[in-house]
Amino acid sequence: MKAQENKTGLPLVQLGITRPEELTGLFADLRGSFDNDCACAHDESAWKVFRDRWLGRKSGVLTQVTDNWLKPATPVLKRVVGQKLNELRAHVESQIEARRAAIESGAEEAALTRERVDLSLPGVIRPIGSHHLIRQVLQEVEDIFFSIGFSIVEGPEIETPYYNFEALNIPEFHPVRDDMDTFYLDLPKGVPAPLLLRTHTSPMQIRTMEKQKPPVRVIVPGKVYRRDNPDATHSFMFHQVEGLAVDTDITFCDFTGTIEYFVKQFFGPGVKTRFRPSYFPFTEPSVEFDVSCIFCGGSGAAAGGGVCSKCKGAGWIELFGAGMVDPAVYGFVNYDAKKVSGFAFGMGIDRLAMLKYGIDDIQAFFQNDVRFLKQFP
Ligand code: DAH
């Protein structure tokens, strides 16, 4: 409105208007600001001010248009200004009258009441989500290792056979490849190396050691893939946390001490741990780490009699694989196997979560049933 007011206060020459065509936009703008103004006149007193602003005899907008635009207009413009002014006047008068009628009949008030925002109405409540249990457990594991000086690295889920197998001392035709039967990618012709979905997070051991010299202390959380048929304990995609520590003087005691610290932090100080000999191509010696059964307290007996169904009466539950890094692995990353030593481990996060929270079907993690997810806010 302000700009229009200023414009109607000036003769057309000063507005730079010399040709009749230029009047169309000028009048359209004026009509637009009238319509805006009209929509704001909701009650009688506002309507009066509005009416005077446009129709006031002395200084109403239409009077200004007559005095400043019409009267001093050049003969070329005068005829068109007159015509446009008449059209505008007809519109202004009819709308002002219509507005008055609306206010008087109460229609305006009704419309206002209808449109008024009722601040006392309850708002739209958007439920706040929470992290998925897997993410929560991952976070917990990360926090524990972080607190003892490990850093967190992540790596690609699509790997080359070199990183997933060869550099981990698993040559082609090594039988352990069968256990990790996985998904190879269909690649366009001309792509040199085969690519696969990583079967474990261990390839990041190699990628990390390639990038940095010892000391190395990292954990690697992430998704891994295997061609497993889904059942209560198998899924074609699951989560692991790999761990690797390499330095000049790391011993088997550092290894067991670190793992034991982790397990007690994670399951509570009451659990007992043990390890058994095992085999992995990239560790020597290799172990399988067990924890005393968290369900029966290690007794192997169920509370109501009989054997504990979780540990099948053994009193122990297998947790994860680990070991001292096989010197052959150092050969792939140009570490001097005579000078460095270290340990590595790889744990299934889904399995840890199932044990800690008593979940007996891994599929529950991936079905996205809110009734399940809600139990772990
Ligand atoms: N990569 C092994 C698997 O997926 C787990 C593993 C075992 C990782 C021993 C390690 C390790 O780093 O030392 O079955």
Mean pLDDT by 10 residues, the chain (377 residues): 72 91 94 92 90 93 94 92 95 93 81 82 85 96 96 96 94 84 88 90 97 96 94 93 96 95 94 94 95 89 87 90 97 96 96 92 93 91
Nearest CA to ligand 1 atom 4: 200
Q: What atom of ligand 1 comes closest to residue 224's alpha carbon?
A: 4
Rounded to whole angstroms, what are the CA distances from 55 to 2, 92, 97?
16, 8, 12
**323 and 169 Cβ atoms separated by less than 8 Å:** no
Nearest CA to ligand 1 atom 8: 346
**268 and 329 Cβ atoms separated by less than 8 Å:** no
What end-to-end distance do the CA atoms of the chain give, in Å?
Answer: 55
Decide: 169 in ligand 1 pocket, CB within 6 A: no
Decide: 222 in ligand 1 pocket, CB within 6 A: no
Three-state secondary structure call for residue 323: strand
Distance 286 CA to ligand 1 centre (A): 9
Mutate which of 228, 234, 280, 287 for ligand 1 pocket (most atoms within 8 A of beta carbon): 280
Mutate which of 255, 345, 351 for ligand 1 pocket (most atoms within 8 A of beta carbon): 345
Task: Say which residues have a Cβ less than 8 Å from residue 339's Cβ, sequence separation at least 6.
Answer: 248
Distance 248 CA to ligand 1 centre (A): 22
Distance 322 CA to ligand 1 centre (A): 6
**356 and 137 Cβ atoms separated by less than 8 Å:** yes
* DSSP category for residue 243: E
Q: Tell me what pLDDT residue 2 has.
A: 54
**How deeply is 67 buried, as exposed, middle or buried, from its count of CB atoms within 10 A (0-12, 13-18, 19+)?**
middle
Decide: 346 in ligand 1 pocket, CB within 6 A: yes
Helices (DSSP H) in 148-271: which residue ranges?
Answer: 161-164, 176-179, 203-211, 252-267
CA atoms within 13 A on the CB side of 328: 13
H/E element holding 147? helix 133-147
Q: What atom of ligand 1 comes closest to residue 242's alpha carbon?
A: 12
**What's phi and psi for 364, nearest 5 deg?**
-60, -30
Decide: 348 in ligand 1 pocket, CB within 6 A: no
Task: Please give the sequence-ordered ranges of beta strands (E in DSSP) within the chain, or none if there are none.
Answer: 151-152, 158-159, 196-197, 216-225, 237-247, 273-280, 283-292, 316-325, 341-348
Q: What atom of ligand 1 comes closest to residue 325's alpha carbon?
A: 13
H/E element holding 18? none
Distance 203 CA to ligand 1 centre (A): 10
Decide: 326 in ligand 1 pocket, CB within 6 A: no
Q: Tell me what pLDDT residue 3 has.
A: 55
Rounded distance, CA 1 to CA 54, Å?
11
Residues in the chain: 377
Mutate which of 168, 174, 202, 246 for ligand 1 pocket (most atoms within 8 A of beta carbon): 202
Distance 345 CA to ligand 1 centre (A): 6
**38 and 99 Cβ atoms separated by less than 8 Å:** yes
Helix axes of 75-105 and 22-39: crossing angle, nearest 10 degrees:
10
CB atoms inside a 10 Å sphere around CB 241: 23
